[in-house]
A and B are shown apart, each in its own frame.
Chain A
Amino acid sequence: MGDLKTQKMKFLQSCTPVLDDGEYRIRVGQVVNLATTGKEIPEKTQLFSVKGPRYSLDPGSIDSMFPPSNTSGFYGNCLPHIILKRKTLPWERVVFKGKTAVRIEADVQAADVIPWLAVLTFDSKEAPVIEKKTANDILNPGANVVSGNLAPDTHVGESTTTPCLTIDVPSPLFNAIMPNLDELPYLSHVRSVDMDYKKSDGSTDGYYSLVIGNRLPLASGDGEKNVSLLVSLEGLGEHIPGGSQQITDKNTCIRMIVLAIWEYSAIADKFDFKKLLENLSPATTLKIESPPNAGAEMKAALDMGYTAMNHHLRDGEQTASWYRGPLVPLKVDVKKPEAKENADALYKYNPDNGLFDISYAAAWQIGRLLALKNKNFAIALFQWRRGNNQKAAFNNMMNILKVKLPNIVAHDEERINMIGGSLLHELTLNYMQNDLGQKMRPGAKDNTGLLGKYGDPAGLIKHGSKYPGLLSIEALEKIVASGSDIVEKIVQEAREDA
């Protein structure tokens, strides 16, 4: 975008092809002057043909058109044009029957190289019907129709059945809008652009040919449909205004091959871009201009971007409150973001005038509504927060334990991190049975510590049937080893102990 300042463009008058379309023959012969051989090297002939667009144009060879196809805009002042990727295209064929193309050597300017292409623009009332026809309809157009009488070139694969699109333009319209023969050279040129600044698909070398129309589209208030056509003038030279055989009979039509069609709608407007820009002045900030009779307080609020809004309070009362959106006319100091319990916490009350500032409360509320509308976000947020909270709760408990029971935690930190859940119980049991127990009853071999045979710091022992894991491993082993009625025995064991 900024690069455009340095982008360069060159214009050339024309670019004529090195070879005209048609069939060619290369003959290669060699004469050997050596007395001893007496042999001749045989001649070799190679046929080739040069074929350019004639009855139709591959859309891929069109770079762009203006006005852009199927758009509407203020096109009433523009001369429609088409940009072709083939730099020689407008000069490949000849408008006069039976003549060959004028070749221009490098650096020689010549005004009389007449391009065979023209851009014609029609509004919807005069637009001729575009018909599907064949090369034969160009060769033999029939009564009351004049054409270029082009004979298909069978050497390059053309035949009388080669399809083409055509228009028949009544002679009065044709004479009125067709550029003069000596005007046509002004309407085609070659443009070269610096490819460094363009996206490139390799289909051009930076040279384009352009054909410009000589007629403004018809514009109206609601937009007027116009069509521009790229037409072939091959063979029609004498009938073009300025030629020797102009068609004066009003009932005769001129048939032309259509190579490209683009439609658009032209809106009439007395403004152009520059004027519209000028109309934007003065460019100001986003706020309401305070009326001349506004009080100082009102003016200050409006200048800061506030708007007075009707505000229905929760108790049904109606008041006016100040509101300001996220787009403000001046720079504001940014505070650290905070989490609020509800939007009401963000109401700002001005005791001097009894008015609320509801800006941030409104922001909070709309943020909440937007989030509620987006299910994926809502679920992801909920799960993430819950996960974090669970983890935090665990960490909190750990921190409490670290302070309250430093010995326990220090002893078994690794294990704690593994088991997580039934932490307190596990820890206490372990501590009572081992560390503390050993200190109180040094030498006790059963490792039951302070709590007797079966430690029960959480008072779960009465519910032994629900928590069979509370029994010591040895007790369990004994029961299992006894064989039958295992559950019964566990319960019994637990009760016995209580």
Chain B
Amino acid sequence: MNTWVSRKEQLMMKPDSGNSADQPIPDIITKWIARIHLLYGVPFEYLVPDSRMLPMESIRFFHVDENWMNNLIDGALSIGRVTQNDLQHDERVIDSLKRVSGKKAQNIRRQLLKKSDTNEGPTGVKTGFILRSLIVEGWPGLEVNAYKSKQESSLCTILRMERLAKDVMLCIFDGEFEELELREPAEAMHFGVDFDDGKFLKKLRSLGVKSPLGTQWDVSVNIPFRDADNRTLNVNKLVDAIKSKLKDAGEYGGNFYSPEFAVEMIESAQKGVFDNVSK
């Protein structure tokens, strides 16, 4: 076929065509795609298409498939894409669009937490977990730590942590983690008793006489109540019971007043640790 511009000439033209002319990507575009990076707005059925993947009371780890994300972003860019020129344009910009918006995704949670933006770029790998449990409902302040490795204490940044349903929570991290720790919120530290096999008990802690203060023992006392409904504590009897166990264990230091009582009665923030099996 005869064309006005020969093949040879086309080759000569190539180096200059394209993106040097592109205007900077408007903020509104990259900001919106940044949210897409963290799957905001993607219906839950697209994330968990089958309920067998996420039974009641389960935790499931995942990697984010960046190819899926690429196609998701390309789909978003496809609106108003009519001509071959449009397609070539998008082909040319999709890489940098993804990079720039991916960097912005690092700051979405920071902005929710009213923290200043970070300049730290993403690692390029996103991982996370979905938790479906009564924990999500009962512990709204649940704290999540994803340790990069079991040996060190450096954490993966949380990019998104959100309750998707009453009992479902989605958490996306930047980077890969080896160990995940779920813990009760520190502010929920409170006083209470344990309930086990239909009995109210309290596991005791050391008071620092022999072992370090606060060490949890496997020794427990039965909680004495004043009433048949088991609601009003008999504090005096409880104190006597705790004292006698402490004496047995050689942990009684001669004083047992309100601070000692508080240490024994604290329900400390519980935590659980999971190995990341998807790594």
Which residues of A line the B interface, CB within 8 A? Answer: 1-2, 4, 7, 11-14, 64, 66-67, 71, 73-74, 76-79, 81, 109, 111, 176-177, 179-180, 182-183, 185-189, 191, 210, 212, 214-216, 218, 267, 269-274, 276-280, 283-289, 307, 309, 323-332, 334-343, 346, 359-374, 376-378, 380-382, 384-385, 387-389, 391-396, 398-400, 402-404
A and B contact pairs by CB, cutoff 8 A, 26 listed: A11-B258, A11-B262, A66-B188, A73-B139, A77-B267, A78-B190, A78-B191, A79-B193, A186-B258, A187-B235, A210-B262, A216-B192, A273-B139, A273-B184, A284-B61, A323-B49, A327-B63, A338-B70, A359-B68, A364-B72, A367-B76, A374-B32, A376-B28, A376-B32, A377-B76, A388-B89
By a CB distance below 8 angstroms, the chain B residues around A399 are 13, 16-17
Interface residue from A11, A274, A323 paired with B259 (Cβ < 8 Å): A11
Q: How far is the CA of A162 from the CA of B58 in the complex (A)?
A: 56
Task: Give the interface centre of A7, A183, A365 by most chain B CB atoms within 10 Å.
Answer: A183
Flag whether B162 is at the interface (Cβ < 8 A). no
Contact B21 A395 (CB under 8 A): yes
User: Residues of B contacting A216 with CB < 8 Å?
Assistant: 192-193, 230-233
- Determine whether the beta carbon of B87 is less than 8 Å from that of A363: no
Using Cβ atoms and an 8 Å threshold, which residues of chain A touch B259?
Answer: 11-13, 189
B49: which A residues are within 8 A, CB to CB?
307, 309, 323, 325
Any A CB within 8 A of the CB of B29: yes
The residue of chain B having its C-beta at the shortest distance from the C-beta of A77 within the complex is B192
Q: Does B212 contact A (CB under 8 A)?
A: no
Write the B259-279 contact mask toward A (1 if CB under 8 angstroms, else 0).
101110101011110110111
CB pair A274 B191 closer than 8 Å:
no
Q: Which of B104-112, B128-136, B244-252 contacts A (4 or more CB under 8 A)?
A: B128-136
Question: Taking A284-B277, A364-B72, A385-B80 as contacts, is the C-beta distance between A404 and B23 under 8 angstroms?
Answer: no
A residues in contact with B188, CB < 8 Å: 66
**Chain B residues whose C-beta falls within 8 Å of the C-beta of A1 in the assembled complex:** 143, 145, 155
**B61 neighbours in A (Cβ, 8 Å):** 283-286, 329
Give the residues in chain A near B29, CB-CB below 8 Å: 377, 380-381, 384
For B28, B61, B77, B239, the residue with the greatest tally of chain A CB atoms inside 10 Å of its CB is B77
Q: Which of B9, B89, B95 contacts A389 (CB 8 A)?
A: B89
- Complex: A330 Cα to B127 Cα, angstroms: 10
Report whether over half of chain B's contact residues are helix, strand or loop; otherwise say mixed.
mixed
Residues in A with CB closer than 8 Å to B218 are: none
Q: Is the interface of A mostly helix, strand, loop or mixed?
A: mixed
* A264, chain B: closest CB distance, angstroms: 12
Residues from chain A with a CB closer than 8 A to the CB of B100 are: none
Question: Chain A: which residue is nearest B275 at the CB level?
Answer: A283
B255 x A109 contact (CB < 8 A): yes
Please give, as numbers and ranges, the residues of chain A lying within 8 Å of B133 by CB-CB distance: 276, 279-280
Known: A277-B272, A396-B17. A186 touches B60 (CB 8 A): no
Residue of A nearest to B54 (CB): A286
Most chain B beta carbons < 10 A, residue from A210, A389, A393, A394: A389
Cβ of A218 and Cβ of B18 under 8 Å apart? no
Query: Is the beta-carbon distance between B135 and A273 smaller than 8 angstroms?
Result: yes
CB-CB nearest in chain B for A329: B278
Give every chain A residue within 8 A of B182 (Cβ-Cβ).
277
By a CB distance below 8 angstroms, the chain A residues around B140 are 71
Nearest-neighbor residue (CB-CB) of B147 within chain A: A2
Contact present for A285 and B32 (CB under 8 Å): no
Q: How many residues on the B side are at the interface (Cβ–Cβ under 8 A)?
A: 119
User: Which residue of B is nearest A74, CB measured?
Assistant: B138
CB distance from A329 to the nearest CB of B (A): 6
Closest chain A CB from B229 CB (angstroms): 8
In this complex, what residue of A is CB-closest to B225? A216
The answer for the CA separation of A336 and B99 in the assembled complex, in Å, is 12
Can you list the 7 inter-chain pairs with the closest CB atoms, starting with the nearest?
Answer: A367-B75, A277-B272, A11-B259, A364-B75, A183-B235, A327-B62, A337-B70
**B71: contacting residue among A273, A364, A370, CB under 8 A:** A364
A390 (CB) vs chain B CBs: closest residue: B21
A371 adjacent to B77 (CB under 8 Å): yes
Nearest residue in A to B273 (C-beta to C-beta)? A277
Complex CA–CA separation, A12 to B259 (angstroms): 6
In the complex, what residues of A have CB within 8 A of residue B186's CB? 4, 7
The smallest C-beta distance from A43 to any residue of chain B, in angstroms, reads 44
Do A327 and B21 have beta carbons less than 8 Å apart? Answer: no
> Which residue on chain A has the smallest CB distance to residue B185?
A1
Inter-chain contact B262/A212, CB cutoff 8 Å: yes
The reply to whether the CB of B120 lies closer than 8 angstroms to some CB of chain A is no
Is B263's CB under 8 angstroms from A11's CB? Answer: yes
- Nearest chain A CB to B210's CB is how many angstroms away? 19
Q: Which of chain A's residues have a CB closer than 8 A to the CB of B226?
A: 176
Additional 19 contacts, C-beta under 8 A, given A285-B278, A368-B75, A391-B21: A74-B138, A77-B194, A77-B200, A79-B192, A79-B193, A186-B239, A186-B261, A276-B138, A280-B131, A283-B275, A286-B60, A287-B53, A332-B65, A339-B81, A339-B94, A366-B43, A366-B75, A381-B77, A384-B23
State whether B16 touches A2 (Cβ < 8 A). no
Residue of A nearest to B31 (CB): A377
Among B1-20, those with CB < 8 Å from A are 4-5, 9, 12-13, 16-18, 20
Complexed CA–CA distance, A402 and B25 (Å): 29
Residues of B within 8 A of A2 (CB): 145, 153, 155
Query: Cβ of A338: which chain B residues have Cβ within 8 Å of it?
Result: 70, 74, 91, 94
Question: Which residues from chain B contact A340 at a C-beta distance below 8 Å?
Answer: 71, 74, 78
Whether A384 contacts B5 by the Cβ 8 Å rule is no
Which residues in A have their C-beta under 8 angstroms from that of B279?
331
List chain B residues, Cβ under 8 A from A210: 262
A189 and B28 within 8 A (CB): no
Known A186-B258, A280-B133: A346·B71 in contact at CB below 8 Å: yes
Asked if B235 contacts A186 (CB within 8 A), the reply is: yes
Chain A residues lying within 8 Å of B135, measured Cβ to Cβ, are 273, 276-277
Contacts of A269 in B (CB 8 A): 134, 138
**B195 & A272 in contact (Cβ 8 Å cutoff):** yes
Q: Cβ of B265: which chain A residues have Cβ within 8 Å of it?
A: 79, 212
Q: Which residues of B contact A376 (CB under 8 A)?
A: 28, 32
Q: A223 CA to B124 CA in the complex, in Å?
A: 44
Task: Tell me, rounded to whole Å, the shortest Cβ–Cβ distance linking B169 to chain A.
Answer: 12
Contact status B85-A389, CB under 8 Å: yes
- A361–B125 alpha-carbon span in the complex (Å): 22
B163 located at the interface, meaning its Cβ lies under 8 Å from any Cβ of chain A in the complex: no
Indicate if B66 sits at the interface (CB-CB under 8 A): yes
CB-CB under 8 A from A186, the residues of chain B are 235, 239, 257-258, 261
Give the residue name and chain of the A residue nearest to B22 (CB).
Answer: A388
Chain B residue at minimal CB-CB distance from A65: B190
Alpha-carbon gap, A74 to B13, bound state (A): 71
- Beyond A77-B193, A377-B28, whether A325 also contacts B68 by CB under 8 A is yes
**A2, A111, A381, A395: which has the most chain B beta carbons within 10 Å?**
A381
